[in-house]
Amino acid sequence: MKNYSAFVGGITRLLLGSGLAQGITIAATLVSARLYSPESFSNFGIYVASTSLLLTVFTGRLDLALIQVSSTAEYRNLLSATLVILLTSSLSFLILGYQIYGFKPAGGLVVLIFLGLISNGLSQIYSNLFSSQERYGEIGVLRIISATTFMGFSIGFSRFADGLIVASIVSQFLSAVLHLIRSNIPLVILDWTEFKSVINEYRDYWTTDTLSSLLNTLGRQLPALLFPSMFGGVIAGHYFFCQRIVAAPVNLVANSVGNVFRKGATKEYEEHGNFESIFIFSFMRLLLLAAFGVFFALFFINDKNLTFLFGNQWSGIADILKLVVIFYAFKFAISPLTYSLYVVRKLHWNFYGQLLYLGCLFIPLLVAWYFDCEPKTAVAWHVLGACIAYTGYLGISYFCARKGADL
């Protein structure tokens, strides 16, 4: 086994600060359970789902390409092009939304989503930039500041139904501003030739990968989008609350490991023609941590404890929480390794995989709706579909890592 101390060190540095940030976010969510109704969490879930889906398109996925470049000129051109796409797409969304809804209540939601697109988009882009530059300590500090801001504003705005949404927007705007101040890459106004050159060079990101990621995001956000109409705001709020407290730490570690894995796998691929060794090294450790999380959830979470912590309005969430934990355990162990397809630039394979992923998540919900199943049964089928899809992704990711340059 090769020495991956630098690889582990990069993940550790990123997690030290980011782990505290997510701990604060989880604490804020737990406190918010006492301050907000399940319906408020359902609305927050719709907002998060909408911004996540739109950002997949509105960044052109070029922010991910930042992780695979190294020169200042490449950073500058790619960063500038990504920001142009984000800003023009978001403004177009705002104008279109205003033309459709005007000053109606739905128009207010359009404005909130627009602000979320700008704030989350900038934070996401610059976070990937800092990851590429291996500035993990700074990422952690900025995430702590953002999480603390979210906690303060979510408590302070608890009298408002959309307080969670406002808190999220404010915290992400602060994060974006701090990233901009700390960035060492100058922004430039690209002429059409330069912009077109960047777009052509990274065509597979804004075409194939955008479609793939859109399918992935849609699959993950299906409950937030469909459960309100299928089961009502209370059940939808229960699910999103469970998803929120589980997804925060899982996404933190998975995204952190994924970014560092992608950087390390790229180096190993360039040196040896494959990256099977770092793949196995990463998977075994992720699997061990995921198994521990599932064990904890199945044996220590019960409805009595959760009702005591959050109040009677959250009664009945224990089974949903356990199912969500299983879902995200698979995601935790496997999703960082799917960057293998990016390393070997087989993004069209990723697109086919995402079609399978969406089908595995949507068909169980469709069947549950058709047979008028109980909410817990629908969630269980949904989770089973996700586990099947992630298992398939693990196989294709390992194939890419083993074959490498022979593909």
pLDDT digits (tens, 9 = 90+) for 101-119: 766 666 688 899 999 999 9
Rounded CA separation 252/14 (Å)? 9
Residue 308 has pLDDT above 90, yes or no: no
**Residue 28 CB partners (closer than 8 Å, separation 6+):** 147, 150, 151, 154, 155, 167
179 has a pLDDT exceeding 90: yes
Q: Which residue carries 């990123």 as its tokens? A: 14
**pTM assigned to the model:** 0.79
Residue type (1 letter), 350: N
Comparison of pLDDT for 318 and 308, the residue scoring more:
318
Alpha helix stretches (DSSP H) within 273-313: 276-300, 303-310
> Which tokens go with 36?
């907000």
* Percent above pLDDT 90 for the chain: 49
Q: What is the pLDDT of residues 133-156, one digit of tens each?
A: 878 788 888 988 999 999 999 999
Q: Which residue has the tokens 């086994």?
A: 1
What is the domain range of residue 363? 5-406
85-94 pLDDT per residue, tens: 999 999 999 9
In angstroms, the CA 129 to CA 206 distance is: 17
Percent of the chain having pLDDT more than 70?
Answer: 95
**158 near 37, Cβ under 8 Å?**
no
* pLDDT of res. 315: 84
- DSSP class of residue 62 equals H
Per-residue pLDDT reduced to its tens digit, 48-101: 999 999 999 999 888 888 877 878 888 999 999 999 999 999 999 999 988 887
| Cα–Cα separations (whole angstroms), residue 190 to 124, 197, 203 | 21, 10, 17
pLDDT(5) > 80 = no
Give per-residue pLDDT as tens, 321-353: 999 999 999 999 999 999 999 899 888 898 888
Round to whole Å and give the CA distance between 375 and 226. Answer: 12
- Range 27-48 average pLDDT: 89
Q: Encoding tokens for residue 185?
A: 């890459």
Please compute the mean of the pLDDT values over residues 159-178 and round it to a whole number.
94
Judge contact between 180 and 126, C-beta under 8 A. yes
Find out whether 111 and 95 touch, Cβ atoms under 8 Å: no
- 217, 52 in Cβ contact below 8 A? yes
Say what the pLDDT of residue 334 is: 95
Total count of domains within the chain:
1
Number of CB atoms found within 10 A of residue 215's CB: 22
Instruction: Please tell me the predicted confidence (pLDDT) of residue 14.
Output: 63
What's the rounded Cα separation, in Å, for the pair 279 and 265?
8
- Determine contact, residues 343/266, Cβ cutoff 8 Å: yes
Eight-class DSSP state of 206: I
Question: 205: which DSSP letter?
Answer: I
Q: What is the mean pLDDT of residues 362-385?
A: 93
Give the pLDDT of residue 21.
78
The mean pLDDT of the chain is 88
Whether 1 has a pLDDT exceeding 60, the answer reads no
Mean pLDDT of 374-390: 94
CA angle 246, 133, 128 (to 5 degrees): 40
Whether 23 has a pLDDT exceeding 90, the answer reads: no
Name the DSSP letter for residue 160.
S
What gap in Å lies between CA 13 and CA 249, rounded to an integer? 16
Over residues 261-297, the pLDDT tens digits come to 887 898 899 899 999 999 999 999 899 989 998 998 8
User: Please, is 316 exposed, middle or buried when counting C-beta atoms within 10 Å of its C-beta (0-12, 13-18, 19+)?
Assistant: middle
